[in-house]
Structure 1
Amino acid sequence: MVNLADFQLKAMGSLIESMDDTNQEVMFKSPTGSGKTIVLTHFMYQYGQGHFNNVFVWLTPGKGELEEQSKDKMDKYIHNSSTKLLEEVMTEGFKENDACFINWEKLTKKGNNALKESEKENFQDLIINAHNNGLEFIIIVDESHQNDTVKASDIIDLFKPKKIIRTSATPSDYPNATLIEVNEEDVIAEGLIKKMIVINEDFGQSLEIDSQVGFLLDKSMNKQEELKAALKQNDSSVNPLIVVQLPNNSEVMQDEVERYLATKDITYENGLLAVWLSDKKQNLENIEGNDAKPIVIIIKQAIATGWDCPRAHILVKLRENTGETFEIQTIGRIRRMPELRHYDNDLLDSCYLYTFDEKFSEGVQLHFGNGALKGKKLFLKKEYRDFTLISEQKSILGAPKDAQQSLKTLVSYYDQQYGTSTKTTENKTRMETKGYIFSDKIIKNTFSGKIHTLTVEEFQNLDKIGMVEPLNTHTHGREYHNRVSTLGTKIGLSYEQMNTIVRRLFDKTVNYSRKILRLDTREVYAFVINNFEKLKEDFREAMASTFLQITSELPVVSEKPFYIPKEVLFTYNEKNRVQREYISNVYKGYLSSAEVRSDSEKTFEKYCNESEKVDWIYKNGDKGNEYLSIVYRDNSGTQKSFYPDYIVSKSGEVWIIETKGGFNRSGASEDIDKFSPKKFEVLKRYIDKHQLKGGFVRKDKSNNELFICMNNYNDDIQSEEWKLLDDFL
């Protein structure tokens, strides 16, 4: 099995939990390039290990092959998994824990043999037999937006599924479905997709052109050469690809594109041009390879579903006079990172869209919000090119991701929260007093009473009834597996790692010096099942707590000189009515309409530009080795990089500033970052070490003033720790 990224583990855990909620349907929204198939195949495996009598049916769109690709991926990721295609289902039927990959068209296409009456049992009979054998179906609808039809709905109804999981990067609205959404920022942070989409870079405010085809293709080819040169400097052989999307029914425009490219010596004959249209396919063999020869591919709107070409970097969308539906999947084709990592270079970590189609451009911005902004290149003013600080970077080797630090964290948490020690008998009493259940039987609750009106109060007044059943290691063994797996996903650990922690903490047959309880194996099963919700809450709190003083080795870091990057890709909101240049910024042409910026950041940048005390200000990046970073460990021992928001000079004195959510008019905190106190300590350590100044800056909305905290972190604006910024900076 492959190692899942933290966001993938979290998504898998949410899918497992969603199986127990009352909604029949689940909507799994995951950006293109986020490893959706990896998450779903691991979900099927883990859920099947923890539950009886399930069959998974994965329905894929398109004219074929995608179901085979998905099956092959599961066979690759999950060894010994029971995967089947439709042909095998027709000969063998459905069996427990089967993962059946079936193409929609083979079920819905008129005259298909799979649903014809014949001497064999037909498909419907196989489903009926499965139900008669006590099996239940969990349906996964891949790219669900493409098969939202009556016929597709009828097929799903055949299975009488206990759960339907619909997956898409652009899901339709299912108001009664449980929504599980992978955060795009998390996928970007893992380096799987590009940081941003740059639309019509350096187009200026007005244009005079002879031909949209020539102008847009020239822009894209210049960018392709720039990307190729930068990749070569990074010792990469990736050959960035331009995707030219034609409007449907546009043979004249296709001819114009091909003739113009021929003037640049990009042709089918020399292998630099490829085409993927329904009536013409050329030079497609191995085009997905990072070093493949074609540099341009011509497509239309309906490019084949499932086509993955991570080296695709640039999209040229040619305008359709009649207007065309915005297809987010097309943008998804240029968002993947070709080598599954960022290059710490804004040029290479972005993708590029060139178009005169205003509706399409607006569609991109509407869907991606701040991820699709106007961009232009800014250059560092000469007087700041020699400025330097020390930047900390994580060790290339890093720290092996194991359960040791998480184990120490949990011991420390239980010591502080429950007063536990090495006296396990006393620990049991302390934990029981605070709500933990101890029994060698499985205890579950139901309710009894009368409801007159559907109000929360009436439900709360129902009588709780405890149901007790003997522990069955066969039946409850799967439930234990399921619970431990879910606990692991909450703190970024695999089932195996989480099971090791549980055994060391609670199982008397496993040696560990700081054991909290000494239960026999049957009692451990019951303890985890009976206390699942409480364990989940405590484990999550332990990893997020900032009051724990975990003793661990200092992070292994390398210290390198930090210089302000000489050029930067600057993104801004071109529709903002105020486009004021901030003269105090280290970059020439830096605008007040800079995005993405929080309210506190916007207020702080405006403050610095208007302050006579500030010499200059630099907005630090939030990912990448080219920016100023400070390394620390979180409670699980994982190395993290903290990127402070700003470097500011005041009368030659260097300040490092981190801005956070402010305080509302009532004084309540709007900072949603649980780790602010920990990050404050990290920043203070760095400032003290290098004899600098700085702190956290937050906005008080009751008076619209900025305040700074420099010594001891406090989340109360009334605290003396918060000083008026104007008195110091």
Structure 2
Amino acid sequence: MGLVDFQIQAVGKLNESMEDQNKEIIFKSPTGSGKTIMLTHFMSDFGKGHFGNVFVWLTPGKGELEEQSKKKMDKYIHNSQTKLLPDVMANGFVENDSCFINWEQIIPKGNNAMKESERANFQEHIRRAQDNGLEFTIIVDESHQNDTVKSDDIISLFKPKKMIRTSATPKTHSNATLIEVKEEDVIAAGLIKKMLVINENFGHSVNVESQISFLLDKALDKQEELKVAFENVKPKSIVNPLIVIQLPNNSEVLQDEVERYLATKDVTYENGLLAVWLDKKKQNLEEIEELDAKPIVVIIKQAIATGWDCPRAHILVKMRENTSETFEIQTIGRIRRMPELKHYETDLLDSCYLYTFDEKFTEGVKLHLRKGAFEAVKLFLKQEHREFSLVSEQKTEVPVANDATEALKSMVLHYEQVYGTSTKTIENKIRLEHNGYKFSDMIIKNTFTGEIHKLTVQEFKNLANVNMTEPLNTHKHGREYHNRVGALGVKLSLPYDQMNTIIRRLFDKNVRYDKKILRLDTREVYAFVINNFKKLREDIQKAMASVLIHPTLNLPNVTERPFIIPKEFLFTYDKNNKVQKVFDSNVYKGYLSSAEVRSDSEKTFEKYCETSSSIDWIYKNGDKGNEYFSIVYLDNFGKQKSFYPDYIVSKGGKIWIIETKGGFTRSGDSEDIDKFSPKKFEVLKRYLHKHNLKGGFVRKDKSNNELFICMNNYNDDISSDEWQLLEDNL
């Protein structure tokens, strides 16, 4: 199974973190992000690049999760060296082992999972491995569930050189390296739903006689709506959306009421539409995870078993109860997966739904998901805007991976522009050396020397830098070279083989390439990559987004389709905001000033349009999906990307397209974190010129709280004349 970009980045960061000074690594990754896939690829990559390592993966629960994780690694990583506890007990630990062990099997709890003689034997296997020079890296899966004295004692036996704690909700640990997979990246990849919608169409106040009938009616109606929508997907989808009902503990009476009410809706155990997953009762659970399984409702009382994966779970009904937030978020995670690992380009199917009167739970979810959870209501397009249309550009249907050939060309151009390189490789070496590159047939390691009298930053800065050298050993440093090349490939989202080809073509005299930068022999290439890893990584990052390399690229196979403003959309807002003003300038009826998610620049821009007498109307564009307005551009490696400008605005009948970006601080520093802004600006300018429209980039200057627009030549300096006061132009 191939990795998507954010997963490749995470694997790279895990590899890098193995070399920092912190012993512990916190790997925070949302449920549904492919945590096991990322970790198994990391384990494989690290093992190829290092000697004497053994991974021990500790899983929670009452069994089976360790077997699931092992099976996944066997599936994703061919010829992987995986073991379960019985394999360890029979054969011990060997270099490059990946051992999957359940806590229940090794923590003494009087459950006889491992007898005293076996426990002693297990410890002997650990000692024997250590005597043989092996080092352990411990991965603690779902680390929030096993953070006890007994578990710590077990970990201590391994004397791990590194420990990786993984969870969607990890506890904080001081002196630990945090690697966090961002929720927005997982959403952008289509693996989890875009949004959690809380209590859709509840309004500001709800009076009900029974929470059971009210909540279940809402859930069943939504299930039917989703089912019809899946059937209308092209090609038709077989997904049968599932409702998860979570009851309080010790609530047999409530459970009985729920079952009886569902029976009045013809949802019963007997006809197979109702399933239950409780400690003492399990029914209709066979193949419930299948996309087209028959049950449409499953009743649970506690968080569904760790490792349970049912991507068709779409709706959660949460009856009142008080439990910990970590416990609850695990349940929310079960309804966030996309059933077919893709978005359907419709808010209805790309969202998941929560219905509850439990305010504490609702606030806990909002606190945890932040921008991923808001109240929602359906808004309808005003009649006068239903005929409006623009030409929207869409990517080709065939997914295109990053192009190694374009990456190679971009690297050559980058070195030419930044360092002045040419085909004269002897001169190139002098230029690179002058700019900080190291050339040696030895491996150079950096350390510091000096005296520290006080633990201050300044005293550490005063330490002298020392270069330690050691002869190149192709056996020892061959693995380090492999590791470094793999890490560089991460920056380009390229596999090791393609990244290695780029390195060899650019720097290895034994590989033919017309625009070679250096001519090094094989041993020198090893040393060059290892000694200059940080410099190479910086130059690759700059080459990726430089607008100087490819200001505009020809766009092959771009599809042009008419864009019509969607007649309805799911509007999310902050219910607790004291200001709930209706913005009449918006194309949708009932659009509120408390709209979320919005950046500071977006909120200020929407308010500006509402108060401006020259603005006819404003439309807030979506950020993903064929139903929204998009423009296509290429990155420097030939990969198509979709750009969704934030707003379409009408002023005096003339259409403007506006993209808002992070503002400028009071001191004039840029807060725009989008490295592709210059490219997006150029492609927007191309589109505006082609279709005879107006527009530009809008940013807020916090030194005066005014909005400024850039329309001609992009500049990241607010003092530039390219930035003009918005009110003088729009």
TM-score by length of structure 2 reads: 0.98
Deviation at 1:401, TM superposition (A): 3.2
**Aligned-residue offset at 1:702:** 2.4
Moved more, 9-18 or 391-400: 391-400
Determine if contact 1:115/1:123 at 8 Å carries over to the other structure: no
Q: Distance in 1 between matches of 2:83 and 2:389?
A: 59
Name the aligned partner's letter for residue 207 of structure 1: V
* Aligned residue number for residue 504 of structure 2: 503
Distance 2:541 2:402 in 1: 18
Q: How does 1:513-662 map to 2 (within 5 A)?
A: 513-549=514-550, 553-662=554-663
1:497, CA displacement in angstroms? 1.6
State the distance in 1 between where 2:98 and 2:695 align. Answer: 56
In 2, distance between residues paired with 1:554 and 1:95? Answer: 52
Counterpart CA distance in 2 for 1:10 and 1:400 is: 15
1:636 Cα deviation (Å)?
A: 2.1
Which secondary structure state, in structure 2, belongs to the residue aligned with residue 662 of structure 1? coil
Q: Whole-Å Cα distance in 2 between the matches of residues 622 and 459 of structure 1?
A: 46
The alpha carbon displacement at 1:30 in A equals: 0.1
Q: Partners in 2 of 1:125 and 1:528 — Cα distance?
A: 40
For the residues of structure 2 that align with 1:424 and 1:112, how far apart are their CA atoms? 69
| Structure 2 residue identity aligned to 1:12 | V
Which residue type is aligned with residue 50 of structure 2?
H
Q: Distance in 2 between matches of 1:720 and 1:444?
A: 47
1:302 to partner: Cα distance:
3.1
Alignment of 1:256-275 (within 5 A): 256-275=257-276
- The corresponding residue for 2:192 is 193
* Alignment partner of 1:10 is 2:9: yes
Instruction: State the alpha-carbon separation in 2 of the partners of residues 450 and 210 from structure 1.
Output: 75
Question: Conserved in 1, the CA contact under 8 Å of 2:551 and 2:682?
Answer: no
**Distance apart, 1:599 and its partner CA:** 0.9
2:465 aligned counterpart, secondary structure: strand
Distance 1:364 1:167, change over 3 A: same
CA contact (8 A) 1:115 1:124 kept: no
Say yes or no: does 1:60 pair with 2:59: yes
Query: 1:114 deviation in Å?
Result: 6.7
Question: Residue 360 in 1 paired to residue 358 in 2?
Answer: no
Root-mean-square deviation (CA), in Å?
1.4
Structure 1 pair 119–268 and aligned structure 2 pair: CA distance change class (3 A): closer
Shift of 1:669: 2.3
Q: Is the partner of 2:310 in helix, strand or coil?
A: coil
Q: Is the 8 A contact 1:114 1:123 kept in 2?
A: no
> What aligned pairs does 1:338-487 form with structure 2 within 5 A after superposition?
338-487=339-488
SS at match of 2:638: coil
Runs (4 or more) in structure 1 with deviation over 4 Å come to 111-115, 322-326, 550-553
Contact 1:114 1:122 (8 Å CA) reproduced: no
CA distance in 2, matches of 1:134, 1:112: 33
| Deviation, structure 1 residue 604 | 0.7
1:127 lines up with 2:156 in the alignment: no
In 1, distance between residues paired with 2:427 and 2:531?
20
**CA offset at residue 466 of structure 1?**
2.2
Structure 2 letter corresponding to 1:637: G
- Cα deviation, residue 200, structure 1: 0.3
CA distance in 2, matches of 1:92, 1:704: 68
Question: In the aligned structure 2, how far is the partner of 1:111 from the partner of 1:209?
Answer: 49
Q: Deviations over 1:566-595 (max 9, x none)?
A: 100000001111101011100001000000
Q: 3-state DSSP class of the match of 1:327?
A: helix
Q: How does 1:247-286 map to 2 (within 5 A)?
A: 247-286=248-287
Give 1:79's aligned residue.
78
Aligned to 2:48: 49
Name 2:700's counterpart in structure 1: 699
CA distance in 1: counterparts of 2:628 and 2:529, whole angstroms: 44
Number of residue pairs matched? Answer: 727
Q: Deviation of residue 546 (structure 1)?
A: 2.4
Residue 495 of structure 1 deviates from its aligned partner by 1.3
Letter in 2 for 1:593: S
| Matched AA of 2:524 | E
Q: TM-score w.r.t. structure 1 length? A: 0.98
Aligned-pair CA distance for 1:237: 0.9
Return closer, same or farther for 1:519/1:112 CA change in 2, 3 Å cut-off.
Answer: farther
1:246 paired residue number = 247
Secondary structure, counterpart of 2:642 in structure 1? strand
Look up the match of 2:211. 212
CA contact 1:28–1:167 (8 Å) conserved in 2: yes
Partner of 2:20: 21
Q: Aligned pair 1:136/2:135, yes or no?
A: yes
| Aligned amino acid, residue 36 of structure 1 | K
**Which range moves more in the overlay, 295-304 or 695-704?**
695-704
Q: Cα offset for 1:157?
A: 0.6
CA shift for structure 1 position 125: 0.3
Contact persistence 1:664–1:701 (CA under 8 A): yes
Q: Deviations over 1:234-290 (max 9, x none)?
A: 011100000000111111111011100000110011000000000000010110000
1: CA distance, partners of 2:553 / 2:108 = 61
SS at match of 1:468: strand
| Aligned 8 A contact 2:707 2:725 in 1 | yes
SS at 2:413 equivalent:
helix
CA drift of 1:515 comes to 1.0
Structure 1 residue 478: Cα displacement: 0.4
Partner residue in 2 for 1:680: 681
Which amino acid counterpart does residue 240 of structure 2 have in structure 1? N
